[in-house]
Chain A
Amino acid sequence: MEELLKILSGICPKVDFVNEKKLIDDGILDSFDIISIVNELNEHYDIEIDVDDLEPDNFNTVEAMLELIEKLQNE
C-alpha cells in the first residue's frame, strides 16, 4: 500500500489518495490522470491493465487499485 501511495502521489501530488473514496465519481482524477496511473502501474508492477479494467470501481480508491493490481498479478 505504501509503495502504491508513493507512486500515485508522484503522479498527482495534489490528490489526497488516503482519504478520498470517490476519486473518479467526484472527478478528482480525470482521464489523463488515469492513463498516467495505468502506464506507471503497468511498468512498476509488470502487469497489463486492459481497457476493460478502466472502470470507475477499479480506480475510485487506492484500495480498489491495489485489488486490481493483485488480481492482474495472480492471473
Chain B
Amino acid sequence: MNIVSLLYLAFVAVVALAYFITPRRLRWVTLLVASVANYLSYDLKLAVWMFITSVTIYVGGLLIDRQEQKYAAQIKARTDLDRSGKRALKKQNERAKRRWAALVAAVNIAIWVIFKFADLFITTLNKYLSGNLSLWHLMLPLGISFYTLQAISYVVDLSRGKCEVQRNYFKLLLWLCFFPQMLQGPICRYRETAPQLYEPHDFDYRRVKFGMQRMLWGYFKKLVIADRVVKVSEKVFGNSGNYQGLVFVIGALAYTIQIYADFSGGMDIISGAAEILGVNMPVNFERPYFSKSISEYWRRWHITLGAWFRDYVFYPLSISKWAQKLTTSLRKRLGPNIAKMIPTYLAMVLVWMLNGIWHGAGWQFVAFGMYQGILIVLGMQFEPVFDWVIAKLKINTSCFSWRLWQMLRTLALIMGGRIIFKASGLYEAMRIGWSILKVHNIWIFTDGTLFKLGLNAWELFLLFVAVLVLLTVSILQEKGYHIREAIERQNLVFRWLLYIAAIATVILFGVYGPSYDAAGFVYAGF
C-alpha cells in the first residue's frame, strides 16, 4: 500500500478507529493484524523472508537469554570464585551471547546479500571470468534493507544487555513490521520503540491532530516539492549526454532538494501516522542541509542509519582486539599518534563502504560511500591547517556570514556526492564532474535553458515558492520554534483557514497525473 494514496489514508483512519475501540489489553494485536495485513498486501511470496527474519531473531533472542540465565545461575552457585574468576566467567558469558548474536546477524545478512547482490556478483563473474551464467533477477522483499538492520540491532542489543528479551513471538513480529515504518524506516531500536507498541494508548485529540498535521507536511514535501523537482533531475541525469557545465549543477541541486523532500517527507508521513497511534518514531532528519561540515551532515541526515553503523560496526571495530593489535604493531614504525588513528580510519573506511553498498548494488555506490569517508578524514586531518589559516587571516568565525559560508561549502560537497549517486555510472559521474569544472556556461540562466529542463516558468515559480516555505519552516525549527504548538495557540478561524489552505495546496499543487508514479519513494527502493 503506497503511503501516498487515498487508500493509505483510509487504512490509517480505519486502523486508528479499530485501535481505539479495541479493549486496551488487545490494542497491540490490532497493530499487529494491521501491520501483517499491510505487509502481505505487497507480495505474499516475498513476505516469507520477513517472517523468516522475525523467527531467527526470536529464536536467537531466546538463546541469548538462556545463556544469560545460565551465567546468572553459575555466578550464584560459584561462591568460591575470586574477582578474576568472576571476571573470566563474565567474559565467557559475553562471548557466548555474542556468538549467538553473530550467527543470527550472519544468517540475515546472507539473505540480504543474496537478494541484493546476486546479479551484481554473477555479472562480475561473467565479465572477468568470461562465464555465461544467467542472472537470477530476484525481486527484493520490500523493506529488507531496513528490517534486516533493525532485526540485527535486537539480537546485538540483547547480547550487550541493552534490552529485555521478548518471549512473545507476535509482539516481536509487531516491532519488526509495524506498518508505518516498514518500508523506509526509520530504523528503530527495540528498547525505544517496542514498549510504545505494546502499551495501550487512549485517544488523545491533541496527539491525533499533531500526527495528522505532520502527515500533511510530509505530503506537501513529497507531492509539491519532491515529485515536481524530480522532473528536472530526471531530465538532466537521464539525458546527461546532452548537457554540460552548469546544467549539471542545476541537476545536482534539483536532486539534492528532491531526495531530501522525498525521504524526509516520507518520514513525516510515517511519523505522523505512528503519532496518531501513540507511537513516537525516532528522529531521522534534523535539517541536514544546515550542516557546517560533512561529519555534521551525516549526524543530521538519515540519523538512524548512521547511528546503526556507528553502534554495530564502527565502535566494535575501532575498539576491538584487532584494532589494539594493529596500533601496537604500528606504534614503533609510525609513532603513537598516527598508530592510534589508523585502525579508526580503517574502521571508518569500512563503515562508509558498507554505507554505500547499503544504498545500492554497484561500484558507484561504493564510490559514493568512499567519497563521504574521504571528505570526513580530510576534514579531520586538515583541521589544524584550517585553524591556522583562519587565525592568520583573522577571520571572524562567530558571525553569520562565516556560518553561511560553511553551510554553502558543505552543500556543494553534498551535491558532489549526489552526482556520484544519481549518475548512470561511475564513469559518467566523473565526466559530469569534469564538465562542471571545465564548462562555464553561465548563459543558461538567461537563454531559456532553465525552462527546458522539465519544468515551465509557472512550475518553476511554484517550486521556488514551495522550497521557500520549506526553508522558512526549517529556519524556524532550527531556531527552536515549535510550529505545531504555535499553530495551536492561534484563534480557531485562523487555524482552520491554515489547515484548509494547506490541504488545498497539496491537492492543487501536488504533482499527479497519468505519468505520476506515487510508488517512487527513493528510499523505499533500498
Chain A residues in the interface with B (C-beta under 8 A): 27, 30-32, 34-36, 38-39, 42, 49-52, 54, 75
Contacts and interface: CB of A to CB of B under 8 A. Distances in A.
A36 to B, nearest CB: 7
A47 B314 CA distance: 20
18 contacts: A27-B296, A31-B315, A32-B380, A35-B314, A35-B315, A35-B319, A35-B344, A36-B340, A36-B344, A42-B319, A51-B160, A51-B316, A51-B319, A52-B94, A54-B315, A54-B319, A75-B83, A75-B87
A39 B160 CA distance: 20
Contact of A39 (B296, B315, B340, B380): B340
Q: Which of A38, A51, A75 has the most CB of B within 10 A?
A: A51
Given A32-B344, A35-B344, A75-B87, A52 B319 contact: no
A30 B315 contact: no
B123 interface: no
B511 to A, nearest CB: 36
- Provide the main secondary structure of the chain B interface: helix
B276 to A, nearest CB: 28
Interface in B87-126: 87, 94
Interface in B258-304: 295-296, 299
Interface residues of B, number: 21
A49 B323 CA distance: 13
Contacts of B311: 54
A48 to B, nearest CB: 9
A75 B316 CA distance: 21
Q: Which of B160, B315, B380 has the most CB of A within 10 A?
A: B315
A52 B314 contact: no
Interface in B447-501: none
A30 B299 contact: yes
B314 A31 contact: yes
B145 interface: no
A52 B299 contact: no
Nearest to B161: A52
Interface string B336-349: 00001000100010
Contact of B318 (A30, A35, A52, A75): A35
Given A42-B319, A51-B315, A51-B316, 12 more contacts: A27-B296, A31-B314, A32-B348, A35-B319, A35-B344, A36-B340, A36-B344, A39-B340, A50-B319, A51-B160, A52-B94, A54-B311
A30 B295 contact: yes
Contacts of B315: 31, 34-35, 51, 54
B70 interface: no
A38 B310 contact: no
- Provide the main secondary structure of the chain A interface: helix
Nearest to A54: B315
B327 interface: yes
Nearest to B312: A51
Contacts of A35: 314-315, 318-319, 344
Contacts of A38: 318-319
A38 B319 CA distance: 8
B162 interface: yes
B330 to A, nearest CB: 13
B299 A27 contact: yes
Per CB-CB distance, the 7 closest pairs between chain A and chain B, nearest first, are A35-B318, A52-B160, A51-B316, A54-B315, A31-B310, A35-B344, A51-B315
Nearest to A52: B160
Contacts of A32: 344, 348, 380
B305 to A, nearest CB: 14
Contacts of B314: 31, 35
Contacts of B316: 51
A52 B162 contact: yes
B49 to A, nearest CB: 29
A22 B453 CA distance: 47
A27 B291 CA distance: 12
A68 to B, nearest CB: 14
A36 B342 CA distance: 11
B270 to A, nearest CB: 24
Nearest to A38: B319
Q: Which of B87, B314, B319, B327 has the most CB of A within 10 A?
A: B319
Contacts of B348: 32
A29 B162 CA distance: 22
A50 B315 CA distance: 9
A25 B344 CA distance: 22
Nearest to B348: A32
B398 to A, nearest CB: 14
